[in-house]
Amino acid sequence: MYDELADQRRIARAIHDEALTALSLTRNNEGEITSTRQLRILEDAAWKILSMHIDDRSVNDSAQRLLARVAVARQWTWVDPVVVTGLTILALLAGIGTAVLAGTGGNIILAVVGGVLSSVLLSVVVLRYRRQNWRIRAEQIAPMIWQHGV
C-alpha cells in the first residue's frame, strides 16, 4: 500500500539530515556553522521542507528549528564592546574637536577634514568590530574543528 505522507516525511528528513552533514564537526561531534555556504544550505533545506506542506508537526518543527538557528547565526554582534565604545568616543571627539577648532578659526577646509576623518574612523570601527554570530563562533571554535563541512 502506498503511503504518501510517509514518503514525504522520509524526503523531508533526508533533506534535513543532508543539510546537517554540510556543517563542520567539532571534536565533540557537534555540527557548527563555519561558512556562509553552510548557512545558506541550512536555510534552503528548511524552506524546502516547509514548502512541502507536510501535515506532520515534528517535520515542520525541525525545519523551524533550522530557520531559528540560521536567524541567530545571522545576527550582528559587537566583538569587543569596551574597545568599540572607546574608539567611537575617540572618533567623535576628533570630529567635534576639529569642527570646533575650524569654526573658531574660520577654516572650512579643516572642518571638512575633521568630518571626513571622524567618518572614516567610525567606519573602521564598525567594519572591524561588528560581525555576525556564526563568524564569531567559528573563530572561537576553530581549534576544535576536526572535520570541515562544505
pLDDT digits (tens, 9 = 90+) for 46-66: 999 999 999 999 999 999 999
| pLDDT recorded at residue 1 | 53
Average confidence score pLDDT of the chain: 94
| pLDDT recorded at residue 30 | 95
| pLDDT recorded at residue 77 | 97
| pLDDT recorded at residue 105 | 86
**Contacts of residue 5, Cβ cutoff 8 Å, sequence gap at least 6:** 54, 55, 56
pLDDT digits (tens, 9 = 90+) for 89-116: 999 998 888 888 888 888 889 888 888 9
All cell numbers assigned to 76: 550582528
| Cross-strand partners of 147 | 25
Q: Cα separation of 78 and 83, whole Å?
A: 10
Q: Which residue type sits at 145?
A: I
Does residue 33 register a pLDDT over 90? Answer: yes
Which has the higher per-residue pLDDT, 108 or 45?
A: 45
The arithmetic mean of pLDDT across residues 7-27, rounded, is 96
| Cross-strand partners of 76 | 132
| pLDDT recorded at residue 100 | 86
Q: Give the global pTM.
A: 0.80
